[in-house]
């Protein structure tokens, strides 16, 4: 059945083309860029879902118009309304397919986020030092005290080694 592409209703739907995003592989992105990319996909999904709802309402309207025209014996009007309904049904079907594809892509991308985050290994040396101090029983801010203790332990070890060495030398002499 030929479609009437000149009607004002059809212009609205012809202007909005299929918008499913092609890429669902996030492997070269950092986690924040990946989240932004997913957010854009989710935004597109929400817009397409709203458009699908609008198409469903328009489809219902045109189908009821076709039914009304048939009941009144206006077959030419019924035919035109039927064509409009068929076009909208076709557009809605394509859009619903796009929506399902986009949902699948979003889920695939969401599953990739943890692996992206695990690849980013940033170690904050100050945070690591604080955690080690806490693990050693020191309070944060006791860095100088901990440094003094480390230096004193080093000196004690050296003194102990010197004493042992002196004892060995004494025994050899």
Side-chain-facing half-sphere of 22: CA atoms under 13 Å:
0
Largest CA-CA distance found in the chain, in angstroms, rounded: 129
Q: What is the pLDDT of residue 101?
A: 93
Q: Are residues 44 and 113 in the same domain?
A: yes
Q: Are residues 113 and 60 in the same domain?
A: yes
Cα dihedral sign for 28, 30, 36, 38? Answer: positive
Task: Give the contacts of 108 (CB within 8 A, at least 6 positions apart).
Answer: 24
Strand locations in 128-170 (E): none
Report the C-alpha gap between 130 and 52 in whole angstroms: 54
Give me the count of residues in the chain.
173
114 lies in some domain:
yes
Q: Check residue 8 and give its pLDDT.
A: 43
Q: Please indicate, yes or no, if residue 2 is contained in any of the structural domains.
A: no
In this prediction, residue 20 carries a pLDDT of 42
Q: Are 91 and 55 in contact (CB under 8 A)?
A: yes
Residue 4's pLDDT is what? 44
Based on the structure, what is the number of domains in the chain?
2
Domain that holds residue 137: 125-172
Residue 64 and residue 82: Cα distance in Å, rounded? 9
Which segments of the chain have a pLDDT < 50?
1-21
Distance CA 79, CA 39 (A): 43
Q: Is there a single domain that holds both residue 114 and residue 95?
A: yes
pLDDT of residue 77: 93
pLDDT at 155: 86
For 34-51, b/e burial (b = at least 16 CB within 10 A) is bbebbeebeebbeebeeb
Residues 83 and 132 in one domain: no
CA 16 – CA 50 distance, rounded (Å): 13
So what's the pLDDT on residue 143?
67
Question: Do 105 and 132 share a structural domain?
Answer: no
Is 3 inside a domain boundary?
A: no
Cα distance between residue 156 and residue 150, in whole Å: 10
């Amino acid at each position: 059945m030929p479609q009437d592409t000149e009607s004002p209703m059809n212009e609205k739907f012809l202007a909005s083309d299929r918008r499913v995003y092609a890429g669902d592989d996030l492997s070269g992105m950092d986690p924040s860029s990946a989240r932004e990319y997913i957010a854009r996909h989710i935004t597109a999904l929400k817009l397409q879902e709203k458009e699908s709802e609008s198409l469903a309402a328009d489809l219902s309207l045109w189908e009821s118009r076709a039914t009304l025209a048939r009941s009144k014996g206006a077959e030419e009007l019924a035919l035109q309304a039927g064509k409009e309904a068929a076009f909208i049904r076709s557009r809605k079907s394509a859009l619903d397919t796009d929506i399902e594809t986009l949902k699948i892509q979003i889920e695939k991308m969401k599953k990739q986020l943890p692996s992206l985050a695990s690849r980013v290994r940033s170690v904050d040396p100050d945070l690591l030092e604080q955690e080690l101090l806490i693990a050693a029983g020191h309070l944060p801010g006791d860095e100088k005290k901990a440094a003094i203790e480390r230096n004193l332990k080093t000196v004690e070890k050296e003194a102990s080694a010197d004493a042992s060495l002196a004892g060995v030398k004494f025994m050899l002499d």
